[in-house]
């Protein structure tokens, strides 16, 4: 079930105006107060919400990583708003959960008491864009198709499947082959080479968002890159995408 957050006195309605939105997907009163102060300092409109799908596109999202369903909501937010700055807070230091949050798309993770200071520092430095848009394919081409719907060669144009040089739409800025999977209503782009022995992952079976390496059976979550079963020792990289104007775009570094 998706976590739903209650707000004392009801959900705050967005004020009139065009200030960038800072979305608070948290009910922690200490975090809310401190982050609302940071938002005011940087000209952002802070809005608390009880849904992960507000009508407006946020510039910044703050997520309570201790909340039930936070991981699923975070993954969905990252897919829905790939260019937003996403900050998550934890009640206690936990390295595994910290790394899991970063894999799921957090740009910034901090303990609840340190979040406001960390967010203030990031905003003062100027939150970087997550990347420029590179078109991959028309969404109509993937209509009615599930599983792997697109393969993209690496930055050097080498296709592990065919062993020859091919042009890369990503302009040489993605240095490994990647695959795009259509799972449910979401597209996920991730590395297409198994870190164990280099097999092409998209040639393996996909079930419930988990791809199995066709060579030795390692398993990975295609939305987060998390290794779920060996013999591979490492996660695989994931890449943010955005849907716009009937196209799927890959976001690559500027």
Distance CA 248, CA 228 (A): 27
Residue 167: the pLDDT is 37
Interstrand relation of 85-90 and 108-111 (parallel, antiparallel or unpaired): parallel
**Mean pLDDT, residues 37-60:** 80
Extract the tokens encoding 205.
């079976």
DSSP letter at 158 equals B
Cα separation, 104 vs 69, in Å, equals: 13
Please state, for a pLDDT cut of 70, what percent of the chain lies above it. 78
DSSP 201-233: GGGS-EETTEEE-TTT--EEETTT--EEESS--
Instruction: List the one residue out of 104, 127, 137 whose CA is nearest residue 238.
Output: 104
The helix, strand and coil proportions of the chain, stated in percent and rounded to the nearest 5, come to: 20, 30, 50
pLDDT greater than 60 at residue 17? no
* pLDDT tens digits along 169-198: 444 446 789 999 999 888 999 999 999 999
Reading the block at residue 85, the tokens are: 């700055």
**3-class secondary-structure state, position 127:** coil
pLDDT digits (tens, 9 = 90+) for 234-251: 899 888 888 877 888 887
Mean pLDDT over the full length of the chain:
79
Return the pLDDT at 3.
35
User: What's the average model confidence in pLDDT over 27-53?
Assistant: 86
The alpha carbon of residue 197 and the mean position of all alpha carbons in its chain are separated, in whole angstroms, by 26
Q: Are 104 and 225 in contact (CB under 8 A)?
A: no
Q: Quick check: 102 and 146 in contact, CB under 8 A?
A: no
Q: How far apart are CA 195 and CA 146, in angstroms?
A: 24
């Amino acid at each position: 079930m998706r976590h739903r957050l209650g707000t004392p006195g009801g959900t705050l309605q967005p004020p009139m105006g065009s200030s960038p939105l800072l979305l608070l997907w948290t009910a922690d009163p200490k975090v809310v107060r401190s982050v609302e102060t940071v938002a005011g300092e940087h000209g952002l409109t802070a809005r608390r919400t009880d849904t992960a799908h507000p009508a407006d596109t946020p510039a910044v999202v703050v997520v309570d990583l201790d909340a039930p369903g936070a991981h699923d909501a975070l993954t969905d937010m990252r897919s829905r708003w790939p260019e937003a700055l996403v900050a998550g807070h934890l009640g206690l230091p936990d390295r595994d959960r910290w790394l899991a949050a970063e894999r799921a798309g957090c740009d910034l993770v901090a303990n609840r008491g340190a979040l406001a200071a960390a967010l203030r520092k990031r905003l003062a430095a100027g939150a970087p864009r997550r990347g420029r848009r590179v078109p991959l394919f028309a969404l109509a081409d993937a209509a009615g198709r599930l599983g792997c719907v697109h393969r993209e060669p690496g930055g050097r144009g080498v296709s592990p499947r065919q062993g020859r040089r091919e042009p890369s739409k990503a302009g040489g800025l993605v240095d490994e082959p990647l695959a795009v999977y259509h799972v449910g209503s979401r597209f996920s782009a991730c590395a297409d080479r198994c870190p164990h022995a280099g097999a092409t992952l998209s040639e393996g079976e996909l079930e419930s968002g988990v791809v199995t390496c066709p060579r030795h059976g390692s398993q990975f979550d295609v939305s987060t890159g998390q290794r779920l079963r060996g013999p591979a020792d490492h996660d695989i990289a994931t890449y943010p995408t955005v849907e716009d104007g009937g196209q799927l775009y890959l976001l690559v570094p500027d």
